[in-house]
């Protein structure tokens, strides 16, 4: 294969070393020039040794150990890192080798892990400065990469576009069904938004929920209120009838365990989305949530026994993976996909769909910059939503200004929606975009706080030290309440009673080191509520009153101020924690219209042959507002189905 060297020069190199960059090193008989060259060599010499330095990464401090001899870097070791597994953690596997190979500080950031890459280069630069390096010269050194100039052409049964949770589920399902599968991912690592998620997965699970205490009367009254809502269709009435039957059966028994039912989960999802969700898709989501969790366990996901309530989830039915984070899903999915023979291509963005006689039969894009063509019998789009695309967000919801941060990965740009449109796909629900009241104040992401394991374990206060909402409500309602507060900012208050988040290993559910977060001032820790208040600039007397009132509501199972009904234990065990949180754009409920077989539909409602989709790239499932904990069900239930039906189509089954 023919290859060419693509050599990138930093502009500063041209300005600082015009003769060298224009002509390269030149031999000369002039003694003065020879002397100058030797002086430059001496000036660029390093002091041999091993140096350490740290810099702030995505998950906390990133510490490096760098060894050098007189002329080059000989070894780079990551001494400490709290970077997200599958994103920053994946980048740290490649960055040291890239630097040692190039002997340059001019390497590119790893796509999707910019903050980790920047921290790595900052710490590395510090180490080289300690070693006496001319840092500007190291930054100006050209980085040589071998890039193929030849087009890459492949054939397969199914090509999956996108390597997050939906894409991996589709690839695994298709491979298990006997299809040859290629998965292409636009960035250098798998994960998408899934790897950034806290991990809650809603499923009605009688075996686990038998061990959860019964809900209080206020919570049961909320269920009864669903039965009084206006009936939208015969299918809706059937669900209400089933819920009434389930309640009658529960009330006739011991009532010493948590009530839940399939009908309740469906009705909460339908009602929570303001009755604009597709009820057929909602029923599939809920009916297959528990069986799909069991399928995921077969594919390597290890579930905790505990059941909790994710913020905005409305009921205790959220399952958590072993490490309580979305990275668990990606790690298990990747291992299973590779074991099944799925070919995974990184740095491979899809640019267009291949269409023949109205059917989709492949994709075109690039692979490490080289032209890529994959002929396939079916294509699954699993590229995520568009919350990371500020222009597209504002196109559909002008009120979402470009100053609002997002929890989404930078790569989540609506690519699959654009691809689907090129094949004539219909879009539904694009005007429904969900924000969260729980974004990281610096980045908008979901990490960097204490409390995320479940809404039972915290409350939120404004800058005046007072609660301002029911923390177990709908996400859109809670976000609106937060925006109305001073500076649209709050603190989440929790304590050591939150044992799901405050664990013995010192790592919270996002993979953050709690003590590092405290050290860096991202969260605050104190042995008393009064001291905590002083640290965050709140009147201690006001926060103490708020705290005591909240604990009394927990004990009584009743919140007379805001009507909260979901409670855990009182927050009485020190240390106490406060985490700063802001509104952040989180989830796009709109996207490509699909049927329950995950076939993409056109403007007339007809199936586009060969085109399938799953996950946040699709629309219509969640309606105007998504319940917390339903997204990870969505991507796995519909990802699994997309892989099955796409492979059936490809194999003629």
Residues recognised as catalytic: 475
Q: Are 142 and 104 in contact (CB under 8 A)?
A: yes
Give burial (CB, 10 Å; 0-12/13-18/19+) of 587.
buried
296: left (phi over 0), alpha (psi -120 to 50) or beta: alpha
Residue-level length of the chain: 653
Radius of gyration for the chain, computed over Cα atoms and rounded to the nearest angstrom: 27
Distance of alpha carbon 118 from alpha carbon 387, whole angstroms? 23
Half-sphere exposure of 507 (CA within 13 A, CB side): 17
Cα separation of 58 and 365, whole Å?
Answer: 30
Question: Whose CA is closest to 443, among 138, 157, 57, 111?
Answer: 57
Q: How many CB atoms lie within 10 A of CB 341?
A: 9
Helix, strand, or coil here: 160?
strand
What is the Cβ-side half-sphere exposure of residue 38, based on CA atoms within 13 angstroms?
7
Other Cβ atoms closer than 10 A to 480: 15
Cβ atoms 428, 396 nearer than 8 A: no
Beta strands in 89-232 (DSSP E): 143-148, 152-161, 181-184, 201-202
Written as six digits, the tokens of 271 are 């009602």
Among candidate residues 580, 581, 584, 579, the one with its CA nearest the CA of residue 403: 584
Is the distance from CB of 180 to CB of 171 less than 8 angstroms? no
Tokens representing 300?
């390597």
SS3 of 600, please? strand
Residue 478 tokens read as 């809670």
Distance CA 412, CA 205 (A): 32
C-alpha 325/C-alpha 317 separation (Å) is 16
Q: Tell which residue, 144, 18, 124, has the closest CA to residue 62.
A: 124
The alpha helices in 569-627, defined as continuous H runs, are none
Whether the Cβ atoms of residue 388 and residue 112 lie closer than 8 Å to each other: no
Backbone angle region of 142, left / alpha / beta, with phi > 0 → left and psi within -120 to 50 → alpha: beta
Could you give the 3-state DSSP secondary structure of residue 429?
Answer: coil
**For residue 631, what is the enclosing H or E element?**
helix 631-651
Can you say how many angstroms the Cα of residue 292 is from the centroid of all Cα atoms in its chain?
A: 20
Contact 182, 379 (CB under 8 A): no
């Amino acid at each position: 294969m023919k290859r060419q060297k693509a050599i990138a020069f930093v502009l500063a190199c041209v300005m600082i070393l015009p003769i060298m960059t224009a002509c390269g090193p030149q031999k000369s008989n002039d003694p003065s020039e020879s002397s100058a060259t030797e002086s430059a060599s001496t000036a660029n010499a390093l002091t041999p040794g091993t140096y350490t330095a740290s810099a702030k990464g995505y998950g906390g401090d990133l510490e490096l150990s760098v060894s050098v001899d007189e002329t080059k870097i000989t070894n780079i070791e990551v001494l400490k890192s709290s970077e997200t597994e599958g994103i920053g953690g994946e980048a740290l596997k490649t960055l040291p080798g890239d630097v040692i190979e190039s002997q340059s500080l001019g390497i590119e950031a790893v796509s999707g892990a910019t903050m980790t890459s920047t921290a790595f280069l900052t710490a590395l630069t510090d180490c080289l400065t300690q070693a006496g390096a001319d840092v500007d010269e190291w930054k100006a050194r050209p980085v040589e990469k071998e890039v193929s100039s030849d087009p890459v052409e492949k054939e397969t049964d199914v090509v999956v576009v996108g390597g997050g949770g939906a894409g991996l589920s589709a690839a695994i399902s298709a491979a298990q069904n006997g299809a040859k599968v290629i998965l292409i991912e636009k960035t250098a690592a798998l994960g998408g938004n899934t790897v950034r998620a806290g991990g809650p997965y809603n499923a009605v699970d009688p075996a686990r929920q038998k061990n959860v205490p019964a809900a209080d009367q206020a919570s049961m009254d909320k269920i009864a209120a669903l039965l009084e809502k206006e009936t939208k269709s015969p299918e809706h009435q059937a669900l209400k009838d089933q819920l009434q039957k389930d309640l009658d059966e529960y009330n006739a028994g011991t009532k010493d365990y948590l009530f839940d039912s399939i009908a309740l989960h469906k009705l909460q999802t339908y009602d929570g989305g303001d009755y604009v969700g597709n009820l057929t898709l909602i029923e599939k989501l809920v009916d297959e949530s528990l069986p799909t969790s069991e399928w995921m366990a077969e594919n390597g996901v290890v579930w905790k026994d505990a059941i909790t309530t994710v913020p905005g989830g409305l009921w205790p039915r959220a399952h958590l993976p072993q490490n309580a984070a979305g990275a668990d899903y990606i790690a298990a999915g990747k291992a299973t996909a590779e074991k099944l023979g799925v070919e995974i291509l990184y740095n491979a963005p899809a640019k267009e769909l291949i269409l023949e006689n109205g059917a989709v039969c492949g994709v075109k894009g690039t692979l490490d910059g080289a032209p890529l063509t994959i002929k396939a019998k079916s294509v699954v789009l699993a590229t995520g939503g568009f919350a990371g695309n500020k222009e597209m967000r504002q196109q559909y919801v002008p009120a979402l200004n470009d100053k609002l941060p997002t929890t989404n990965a930078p790569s989540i740009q609506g690519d699959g929606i654009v691809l689907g449109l090129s094949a004539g796909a219909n879009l539904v629900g694009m005007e429904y975009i969900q924000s969260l009241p729980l974004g990281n104040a610096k980045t908008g992401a979901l990490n960097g706080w204490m409390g995320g394991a479940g809404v039972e374990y915290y409350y939120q206060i404004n800058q005046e030290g007072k609660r301002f909402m029911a923390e177990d409500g709908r996400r859109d309602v809670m976000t609106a309440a937060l925006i109305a507060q001073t500076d649209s900012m709050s603190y989440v208050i929790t304590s050591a009673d939150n044992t799901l988040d405050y664990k013995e290993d010192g790592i919270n559910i996002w993979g953050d080191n709690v003590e590092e977060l405290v050290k860096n001032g991202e969260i605050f820790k104190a042995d008393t509520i009064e001291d905590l208040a002083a640290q965050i600039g709140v009147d201690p007397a006001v926060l103490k009153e708020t705290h005591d009132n909240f604990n009394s509501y927990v004990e009584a199972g009743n919140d007379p101020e805001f009507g909260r009904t979901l409670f855990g234990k009182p927050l009485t065990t020190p240390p106490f924690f406060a985490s700063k949180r802001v509104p952040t754009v989180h989830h796009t409920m709109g996207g490509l219209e699909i049927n329950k077989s995950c076939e993409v539909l056109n403007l007339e409602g007809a199936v586009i042959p060969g085109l399938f989709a799953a996950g946040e790239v699709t629309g219509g499932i969640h309606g105007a507002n998504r319940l917390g904990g339903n997204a990870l069900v969505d991507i796995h239930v519909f990802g699994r189905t997309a892989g099955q039906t796409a492979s059936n189509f490809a194999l003629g089954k």
